[in-house]
Amino acid sequence: MTISKHCSFELPTWVGPFVDNWQESLVTISQRMQLAVALSEENVRQQTGGPFGAVVVNEETGQLVSVGVNMVTKVGLSMAHAEIVALSLAQVAVEEWDLSQSGALQLVTSCEPCAMCFGAVPWSGVKSLICGARKKDAEAAGFDEGDKPDHWVRSLQRRGIVVQCSVLKAEAAAVLAHYGENGGAIYNADHGHGKR
């Protein structure tokens, strides 16, 4: 038996030019969410993964640190969610596993985190979390978001992480709905409570 010594992934080739051509500044939370939602939508259009996008920015300056798109089906890794990808690439970019050591960094994600990504938020060191669509929007598209505390926002706030939900919710939820209605791959639909 040979044990693999590497596990890595690269963003789809379209992501770099897409972000480079992004005209909006990232000063406001809405502008940051526009980019996260646009990434989720383009990821579906390019057929490189699920309908989720995320960005990590400096919450004070709006400087972009990293981006992520869902790549579960593309790379065959169940953990390749947009948030995990964005946080991992941010840690590589700043050369620090604890993002709190690089200033006040913010995770902006097109949908509130699933159970796995919720767990990653406090360990990453981000100071704030901004979410677009909600759990029920992802579940309406067919995704199993897993179990997390009912009061997950308060749980993060107790750890000093500022949370704001439903930013551009309608736009973010529309990407999920379009994906589900058009037969996009719904991974893990039979886990937990099954496909909804």
Give the pair of three-digit tokens for residue 39.
């990434």
Residue 181 appears among annotated catalytic residues:
no
Q: Do β-strands 53-58 and 64-69 pair in parallel, antiparallel, or remain unpaired? A: antiparallel
Q: Which residues of 150-179 are buried (b: 16+ CB within 10 A; e: fewer)?
A: eebbebbeeeebebeeebbbebbbbbbeeb
Q: Catalytic residue among 83, 112, 145, 171, which?
A: 83
- Whole-angstrom distance, CA of residue 34 vs CA of residue 12: 19
**Residues identified as active-site:** 83
